[in-house]
Structure 1
Amino acid sequence: MNLTNLKAWTLALLLLDTGTIALAQERSAMQAPKVVSPEIASDNSVTFRVLSTDANAVTVNGSWMANGESLPLKKDERGVWSVSTAPLASSMYHYNFLVDGVAAIDPTNPHALRDGVRYASMLIIPGEGAELFELNETPHGSISKVWYQSPSLDIYRRMYV
């Protein structure tokens, strides 16, 4: 390979690499919208949001509602579904979304709990009484899993102590 061919190949590779870098810059225009959920307002109302561009119906149900109740969310032009609640009393609550009939936790809320059977997202409304649920600098002890013989069921069961 002579020097002219080597220069031509080097130039071609540089142009190809430059084109690849230029294409990568357009990715930001196609990113999904940022979703913040749950968003607790100063009056203790809560706005729930979930991104689901293909969903037909989204509802939220939570522990502050009567059993079986749910709130329908409305979809905006970006595919973000949202609803705001009335102000809630200070406490800890759990909730789930129902997206086209399928239960789901809030994908943008890192706080989840498991009650033994299902998962739910959780939130704490600040104020008097809510400090019971907040993390405090106190000794927390330890949790042990123990098996015991249940006299009523006549089987071994596991419990957390």
Structure 2
Amino acid sequence: MKKNLWIAILITLLIGTQSYAQEALFGAQQITSPEIHEDGSVTFRFFAPEAEKIEVTGDFLPTVKVETPRGMMDAPGKAELIKDDKGVWSFTSQPLSPELYNYSFLIDGLRSTDPNNPFLIRDVASITNIFIVGEGQASFYRVNDVPHGTVAKRWYDSPGLGMDRRITIYTPPGYEQSNEQFPVLYLLHGAGGDEEAWVSLGRTAQIMDNLIAQGKAKPMIVVMPNGNVIQDGAPGEGSDGFYKPQFMVPKTMDGTYEDNFMDIIRFVEANYQVKANKANRAIAGLSMGGFHTLHISRHYPNMFDYIGLFSAAIMPREDATGRVYSNFDETLKNQMDNGYELYWIAIGKTDFLYEANKEFRAKLDSMNMPYEYVESEGGHIWRNWRVYLTQFAPQLFK
């Protein structure tokens, strides 16, 4: 009887599995999109016989200027698809330079992901598809046949914030089998991001694996915290459950995060094989994370020898009332006098924060405070921040 019972259960499981597989097949369109051609051009397709107009939008298209609460900013352009006699709409791009790109469709004005492309990323509350074209810079974003590090989602106790908080930590290839101690890069996200942003949108694990394998960067631990102090974890990953992510949540830039950053460092240095000194700590961040990096590094002037500001949100804020922001000039000079190996600033030429960064550099110049400056094409976009990471990481811990 037991044997017959197990046979019946196995048959039921097989039928159930096949049913789900068939359901997945029925839900998919049997067309190829995106199709990447040898010359780097890409064809997008969407089956919608009843649609009246379909457009594709994404960062592979020329940008347009749009007005936002943060001022004029670059936004992805749009391109119209053409429908054939079978109801399949298509558009083929110009040859694209090597890069990771994102896109989505507009179906009669309604935004949609591509049902033929299962590869998605979340940026704040927007979901888009992604694809990679070519080699060159794009090869840093691929999973190549090299030794791989480990990405862990950990929880740490933050006594200053009164909660356990979720954090993402990359350890380099071979870390688990090694008795070696490693340097640490603390990598901070921008507004609307969380502990998922750098590893998902920023491709941190792929970048670090490839840089280390090529001998361009030292093996290091990369710590990616959540800069939203009212959250214990990313939307859908914390105790608040599922809710729509917001671009800015309360208390993100009022000094609370910076003032309690040592909780993160203490956790890392108590739980990982690290070189716990200034020469082996780096901190960098994009946009809001660049703002945090600026203030954390001068508030704790003996903690970091390497500082990276990626499109930093250097601007006056009415809610910046915490003690972290007091005595700005004095503490910045103190940081300079204490010494550091690298103060690295990078921004795009059309970034809405360009002028604010220019003014900050003028301040550093007036103080004779050493820094390195990189100016790239483009604006306030992940394409730039991924490149900045590939440029910044090789300069660390030399």
TM-score > 0.5 by shorter chain:
yes
Change (3 A) 1:68 1:132: closer
| Correspondence for 1:148 among 229, 234, 238 | 229
> How many residue pairs get matched?
126
Distance 2:45 2:38 in 1: 18
Distance 1:151 1:80 in 2: 45
8 Å CA contact 1:106, 1:121 repeated in 2 = yes
Structure 1 unpaired stretches of 5+: 1-31
Alignment partner of 2:121: what SS? strand
* Structure 1 residue 155: Cα displacement: 8.5
Using structure 1 for the length normalisation, give the TM-score.
0.70
Distance 1:153 1:52 in 2: 48
- Say which is worse superposed, 94-103 or 61-70, in terms of deviation: 61-70
Amino acid at match of 1:40: I
Distance 1:94 1:101 in 2: 18
8 Å CA contact 1:33, 1:78 repeated in 2 = no
Distance 1:71 1:96 in 2: 11
Match of 2:379 in 1: none
Match of 1:117 in 2: 125
* Structure 1 residue 140: Cα displacement: 3.0
Using structure 2 for the length normalisation, give the TM-score.
0.29
Distance 1:151 1:113 in 2: 23
Which structure features the higher share of strand residues? 1
Alignment partner of 1:143: what SS? strand
Residues 1:74 and 2:82 aligned together: yes
Runs of 4+ in 1 over 6 A off after TM superposition: none
Match of 1:63 in 2: 59
* Structure 1 residue 143: Cα displacement: 3.2
Which structure features the higher share of helix residues? 2
Amino acid at match of 2:60: W
Distance 1:130 1:116 in 2: 23
Amino acid at match of 1:103: R
Q: Which has the higher contact order (CA 8 A, sep 6+)?
A: 1
* Structure 1 residue 33: Cα displacement: 7.5
Residues 1:86 and 2:167 aligned together: no
Distance 1:152 1:112 in 2: 29
Alignment partner of 1:42: what SS? coil
| Correspondence for 1:139 among 144, 149, 153 | 149
* Structure 1 residue 142: Cα displacement: 1.6
- Say which is worse superposed, 131-140 or 107-116, in terms of deviation: 131-140
Match of 2:44 in 1: 48
Distance 1:116 1:86 in 2: 29
Structure 2 unpaired stretches of 5+: 1-27, 64-74, 155-165, 167-225, 231-250, 258-263, 265-398
Amino acid at match of 1:80: V
